[in-house]
């Protein structure tokens, strides 16, 4: 899972750590040369020695730090060099990185994020977050990797921390109104919509609720049969009609049946025939208008690359998406599109699909996602 991103972040941590180490090595060289110059005080003026130190400082990347020390410490005698050397040692222990140090590494990370299907705006945010977290910050020697990893984790967690929805609370609210909760599932054909709908039904059943399924994908050949097979596996009832029937009517009848028979919630499948967008748009609008769902859930195939953004925009415009489920996350080596959906649309992520079995469904956990993306 997310092997591509792990590799990119791991490489970034390594490169920036090396920047710190290189700077420390150069400062050590400078420190040694300063000590040698101090011995020359008897033959040269302090001003001449300082001039030579500035020349040496050009090699190290800490010229500005050296000049600040020179300005704050009066050049009078050898005591100056003792204080000077102590301050150089402090710089060694608390090394700072400049924008120049970070530029190439962060540009490379940005390109890598885009290659991992991350939207440009999101890749730029991560890049800028790391600049803010790392630029000019003091880092103690030996703590560089930990410091960099924490900076990356902070940025990713901010992106992945979206609002939450508790499906159980939604069901409880509906029950208090003497009706079943209605969950409509949307998504293009092939994303795993029916499978993940059945997984959610199984999850709710394990929690003690009574779900019933509505085979509302009446356009796709054998769409109702597929959902019926999933329903048999999890031992949950499903209501269906013949292929080509009115999808809205199938769902409406299921809601009526659920209320009459005491079911807690209806999980309804819908069509995802993107090749007839105009007809689909009208159908979905009607389904929502008539059935008044408690949640409109979009299933997105996490392997679909950046196309998930277009899919989200289409369905959101059509019905107003309340929450998302990502399918096939267990075999997703990139994962950048998940970052993009979270950051650009900020809708709750209910679950992530991790396999073909009914139990292969995990409640979305941003902390776990961050760990999977930067497991170093």
Q: Is residue 346 part of a domain?
A: yes
Condensed to tens digits (0 to 9), the pLDDT of residues 287-307 reads: 999 999 999 999 999 999 999
pLDDT value of residue 193: 95
For residues 75 and 187, state if they share a domain: no
Average of per-residue pLDDT values in the chain: 88
Residue 246 zone, left/alpha/beta (φ > 0; ψ -120 to 50; rest): beta
- Judge whether residue 275 has pLDDT over 60: no
For residues 191 and 304, state if they share a domain: yes
- Judge whether residue 274 has pLDDT over 80: no
Tell me the pLDDT band of 49, cut-offs 50, 70 and 90: low
| Cα separation, 102 vs 134, whole angstroms | 8
Tell me the pLDDT band of 199, cut-offs 50, 70 and 90: very high
Condensed to tens digits (0 to 9), the pLDDT of residues 113-170 reads: 999 999 999 999 999 999 999 988 878 778 889 999 999 999 999 999 999 999 999 9
- Both structure tokens of 374: 């930067």
Mean pLDDT, rounded, for 313-341: 96
- Percent of the chain having pLDDT more than 90? 66
| Cα separation, 143 vs 120, whole angstroms | 31
- Percent of the chain having pLDDT more than 70? 84
Report the number of distinct structural domains present in the chain: 2
Q: Is residue 242 part of a domain?
A: yes
CATH number at residue 194: 3.40.50.300
Tell me the pLDDT band of 85, cut-offs 50, 70 and 90: low
pLDDT value of residue 63: 67
pLDDT value of residue 265: 98
- Judge whether residue 78 has pLDDT over 60: no
Three-class DSSP category at 97: strand
For residues 181 and 82, state if they share a domain: no
The contacts of residue 215 (CB under 8 Å, 6+ apart) are 223, 224, 227, 228, 238, 239, 240, 241, 250, 269
- Most confident option among 36-50, 145-159, 278-292: 145-159
Tell me the pLDDT band of 243, cut-offs 50, 70 and 90: confident
For residues 338 and 244, state if they share a domain: yes
pLDDT value of residue 245: 86
For residues 210 and 342, state if they share a domain: yes
Which range of residues forms the domain containing residue 62?
15-95
CA 4 centroid distance within chain: 14
């Amino acid at each position: 899972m997310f092997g591509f991103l792990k590799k990119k972040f791991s490489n970034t941590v390594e490169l920036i750590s090396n920047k710190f180490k290189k700077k420390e090595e150069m400062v050590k060289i400078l420190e040694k040369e300063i000590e040698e110059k101090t011995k020359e005080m008897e033959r040269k003026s302090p001003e001449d020695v300082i001039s030579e130190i500035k020349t040496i400082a050009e090699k190290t990347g800490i010229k500005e730090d050296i000049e600040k020390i020179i300005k704050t410490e009066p050049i009078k005698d050898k005591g100056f060099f003792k204080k000077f050397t102590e301050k150089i040692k402090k710089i060694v222990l608390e090394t700072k990185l400049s924008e120049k140090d970070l530029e190439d590494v962060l540009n490379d990370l940005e390109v890598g994020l885009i290659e991992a299907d991350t939207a440009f705006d999101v890749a730029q945010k991560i890049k800028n977050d790391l600049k803010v977290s790392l630029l000019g910050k003091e880092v103690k020697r030996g703590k560089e990797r930990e410091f960099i990893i924490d900076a990356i984790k902070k940025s990713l967690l901010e992106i992945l921390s979206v609002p939450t929805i508790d499906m159980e609370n939604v069901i409880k609210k509906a029950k208090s109104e003497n009706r079943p909760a209605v969950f409509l599932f949307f998504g293009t054909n092939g994303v795993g919509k029916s499978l993940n709908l059945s997984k959610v039904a199984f999850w709710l059943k394990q929690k003690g609720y009574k779900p019933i399924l509505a085979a509302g994908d009446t356009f796709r050949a054998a769409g109702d049969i597929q959902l019926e097979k999933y329903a048999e596996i999890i031992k949950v009832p499903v209501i269906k009609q013949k292929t080509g029937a009115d999808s809205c009517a199938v769902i409406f009848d299921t809601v009526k049946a659920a209320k009459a028979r005491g079911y807690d919630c209806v999980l309804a499948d819908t069509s995802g025939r993107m090749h007839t967008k105009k007809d689909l748009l009208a159908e979905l609008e009607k389904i929502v208008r008539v059935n008044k769902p408690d949640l409109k859930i979009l299933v997105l195939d996490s392997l679909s690359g950046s196309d998930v953004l277009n899919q989200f925009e289409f369905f959101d415009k059509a019905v107003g998406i309340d929450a998302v489920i990502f399918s096939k996350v267990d075999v997703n080596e990139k994962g950048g599109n998940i970052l993009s959906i979270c950051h650009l649309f900020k809708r709750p992520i209910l679950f992530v699909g991790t396999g073909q079995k009914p139990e292969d469904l995990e409640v979305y956990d941003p902390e776990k996602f961050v760990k999977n993306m930067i497991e170093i």
